[in-house]
Amino acid sequence: MSDVSGVRGMPRGELGRSAEPGEPGEPGEPGPEELALGRIELGLDGVRAAQRGRTAEARASFEALWEELGERDVFHRCVLAHYLADLQDDPRAELEWDRRALAAADSLTAERAATYESALQVRAFYPSLHLNLASDHLKLGEPDLAREQLERAVRSLDALPEDAYGAGIRSAVDELRQRLR
């Protein structure tokens, strides 16, 4: 299992940040601040459990957060699905969570990503997302599908920054390419 503070190359961040800050709540319902604090707590519970090797507990916290986020907050769903894929014991479940991360990234607008961090580029998610899918398919004994996803990762490498993160993803792509020969 990877370090959950920066799982599998996705950007770090506040998993529980409110999707729509300042949006008024219904009377008697928690306001945005209370919802955001609850989401942050779920995210922190998951991170702490994962760091202590308690993957079932981490999965439960992150899955609860997944439900809390709902369909609208695709940025956080993308990051969260990426985390959850890493916590799966079953390679098929890992593949499903990685597919959910990719689907969320596909529906994420550059404007939404920029509200999270101004320099964040959605394009930079794709090398890692496709690399993970390639790895999943290889684990499942599906080398042709693995090669297809790896090729998609390679085609998106130009979106990566020239820093340690980008170098790490490029290195992982090269390693998987060698394994698939």
Residue pLDDT tens, the chain, 181 long: 333 333 344 443 334 333 343 444 445 565 656 666 667 677 777 788 888 989 999 899 889 889 888 887 888 899 899 989 999 999 999 999 999 999 999 998 777 766 766 556 788 999 999 999 999 999 999 999 999 999 999 999 999 999 999 999 999 999 999 999 8
What is the pLDDT, as a whole number, of residue 108? 84
What is the pLDDT, as a whole number, of residue 106? 92
What is the pLDDT, as a whole number, of residue 96? 98
Q: Is 122 exposed, middle or buried (0-12, 13-18, 19+ CB in 10 A)?
A: buried
Closest CA to 126 of 101, 148, 146, 144: 101
16-19-25 Cα angle (round to 5): 105
Element (H, E) at 47: helix 32-51
CB 137 within 8 A of CB 28: no
